[in-house]
Structure 1
Amino acid sequence: MTKLFCAFLEPVVTLQLASPTSAAWIDQAIRHFDLVLLDHANCEKKAAGNALSLLFRYPANGQLVEALSPLAREELQHFERVHRHLQRLGILLRPLPAAPYASRLNQHLRRHEPEHLLDALLVAAIIEARSHERLGLLGIHLPDPELRQFYLWLAAAEERHWQLYLDLALAQFPADQVQERLDTLLQVEAEILSTLHPEPRVHS
C-alpha cells in the first residue's frame, strides 16, 4: 500500500550547488571583509530590486505577487541591518564595481516565455543558495562575535529565500522540467565561480 502511494508522488526537485566555496574565497573574504560587507549591502538592495522587477514583469501572476512583495520588503530590512554594521564599523556606504557573477548567470536566461520566467526564478534561487552557503561560512569564520551571530541568522533567511524561488518555479512548471533546467544552470554557476575574482565580493 505504501509503495503504491509513493509511486504517484511528485518527483522531488533538489537544489544542490555543483561546487562548494573554496578555502581561497573564505581567506579573501576575511582579509578584506570591509569590501565584502559593503558589497553585501549592495547585494541586499539588488535582491529587493530583483523581486520587484519580477512583479513588474508579471503583474497578472498573483502567486508571484503574493510571494515576492513581502520578500522585497524583507530584503530591504536585511539591507538596513547590514547598513547598521557598516555604520558600527565606520564604513561609508558606496557603490562598488560588481563581480561578473550575476551578469554572467543572467546571460543564460532564455528570452521567450514561459522559459524566461522559469530561468529567472531558478537563477534567483541559485544566487540565494550561494548566498546561504557563503553567509553561513562568514558566520563560522569571522572573528567578530556580533558579526558571526548576524551572519548565521542571515544564512537561515537566505535558505528560506532560495526555497521560495524554487517553490514558485515548481508551482508554475513540471518538476522534471524544473530539475533539468536547474541542473544546467547549476553547472553554469559552478563554472563562473571556478576562478576566484581578484576583487573580494560576496559572489566573487
Structure 2
Amino acid sequence: MSAIINQLLEPITNFLYCPTPQSWIDEAIKGENLPTLLVDHANCELKAAQTAMLLLRRYAVDKESGDALLAWLKPFEDFVYRKVGDGNFKEHVNLSKKLISKSNFEHGDELINKMVMLIKEELHHFQQVWEIMQNRGIEYANLTASRYARGMMKRVRTHEPAKLTDTLICGAFIEARSCERFAKLAPFLDDELETFYISLLRSEARHFQDYLSLAEKIALQPIDDRIELFKQKEAELILSDDSEFRFHSGVLIGN
C-alpha cells in the first residue's frame, strides 16, 4: 500500500478501536460473495446519502429546501426500493436548487455545506458501484440490512442537542469503518475493484472528521466520553458473531 494511502488511513485506524478481523476479509473476497458485497456496498452509499439528507431536513433547512432534497434522492430510492427506472442517474447527481438555512439553527450553513457535498459524493459512488455491477452481470437484489448501523443508533440519546451530537458521532464511526474496509479489501480484489476501492478511500477519508467537527461544535461541551462509548459499541459489533455477510457485518458464525 502506498505512502499516501497509509497517510489517509492513519487517522481512521487511530479513531477506530479495532481493525476489521481477517475472518471477515477472508469471507468478503470469496468469489461467491462478490454480488452480496457490491449490492450491500451500493446500499451503504445510498443510506449514507439518506442519513445526510435527513439531518438537513430535520435540523438545517426550510420546508421548500427539504422537498428539494427529497426530490434529489427520489430517483435513486425509486430504483432501489421500488424497481422503478432504468438505473441511469447521470442527470440526478446534482441538487436542483440552493438550500435555505433555518434562521434558528446556528450551525445550519456549515451543516448544509458539508452534508450537500457528502450527498453528492455518496450518490456518485452509488452510481459507480451500480455501473460495476451492470458490467459484471450482477442484479440489484433485495438484501436485508445488517445489524451494524441499527446497533450503533440504539445508543443515541433522545433529547436535543444530545440526539444530533450522538447521531453525528455515529456517522463518523460508520464512515471511518467503511474507509477502513475499502483499504483492507483493495489488495485482495481484481485490478478494477482495487483501483475503485482506493479511489473511494481517497474521496471519503475526510467524512468521519466532518461529522466529528460538527458534533463538537453542536455539543457545546467535550464529547470524548460519547466518542468512547460509540467506539466500544462499534468494536463490539465488528468483533461479535453475525449470521449474514454484509459490508459492515461482524465475524461470520462458523468462521
- 1:91 counterpart SS class: coil
Give the Å deviation of 1:15. 5.8
CA contact (8 A) 2:18 2:235 kept: yes
Structure 1: tracts of 5 or more residues without a match: 1-13
Matching residue of 1:152: 198
Deviation string 1:61-119 (CA, Å, 9 cap, x unpaired) is 22211211121121100100111110111101122101101111111110000100110
- 2:223 counterpart SS class: helix
Whether 1:177 and 2:176 are equivalent positions in the alignment is no
CA contact (8 A) 2:133 2:139 kept: yes
What is the letter of the counterpart of residue 68 of structure 1? Answer: M
CA contact (8 A) 1:42 1:95 kept: no
Whether 1:106 and 2:163 are equivalent positions in the alignment is no
CA contact (8 A) 1:25 1:196 kept: no
Whether 1:68 and 2:69 are equivalent positions in the alignment is no
Alignment of 1:30-41 (within 5 A): 30-31=29-30, 32-41=33-42
Whether 1:188 and 2:233 are equivalent positions in the alignment is yes
CA distance in 2, matches of 1:147, 1:119: 33
Matching residue of 1:6: none
CA distance in 2, matches of 1:157, 1:199: 28
Give the Å deviation of 1:157. 2.1
Matching residue of 1:91: 138
CA contact (8 A) 1:122 1:166 kept: yes
Counterpart selection for 1:198 from 214, 218, 243: 243
Whether 1:23 and 2:22 are equivalent positions in the alignment is yes
- 2:230 counterpart SS class: helix
CA contact (8 A) 1:110 1:119 kept: yes
Give the Å deviation of 1:172. 2.3
What is the letter of the counterpart of residue 35 of structure 1? Answer: T
Deviation string 1:172-204 (CA, Å, 9 cap, x unpaired) is 235x62222111100011111222423221100
Count of residues in correspondence between the two structures: 189
CA distance in 2, matches of 1:15, 1:116: 25
- 2:145 counterpart SS class: coil
What is the letter of the counterpart of residue 165 of structure 1? Answer: Y
CA contact (8 A) 2:38 2:129 kept: yes
Deviates more, 1:158-167 or 1:71-80: 158-167
CA contact (8 A) 1:37 1:86 kept: yes
Q: What's the TM-score once normalised by structure 1's chain length? A: 0.88
CA distance in 1, matches of 2:112, 2:204: 19
Matching residue of 2:69: none
What is the letter of the counterpart of residue 25 of structure 1? Answer: W
CA contact (8 A) 2:216 2:222 kept: no
Give the Å deviation of 1:43. 0.6
CA distance in 2, matches of 1:84, 1:196: 32
- 1:149 counterpart SS class: helix
CA distance in 1, matches of 2:141, 2:35: 12
**Structure ranking higher on relative contact order (CA contacts 8 Å, 6+ apart):** 1
Q: RMSD of aligned C-alpha atoms?
A: 1.5
CA contact (8 A) 1:21 1:134 kept: yes
Give the Å deviation of 1:168. 1.4
Matching residue of 1:126: 173
How many percent of aligned residue pairs carry the same amino acid? 42
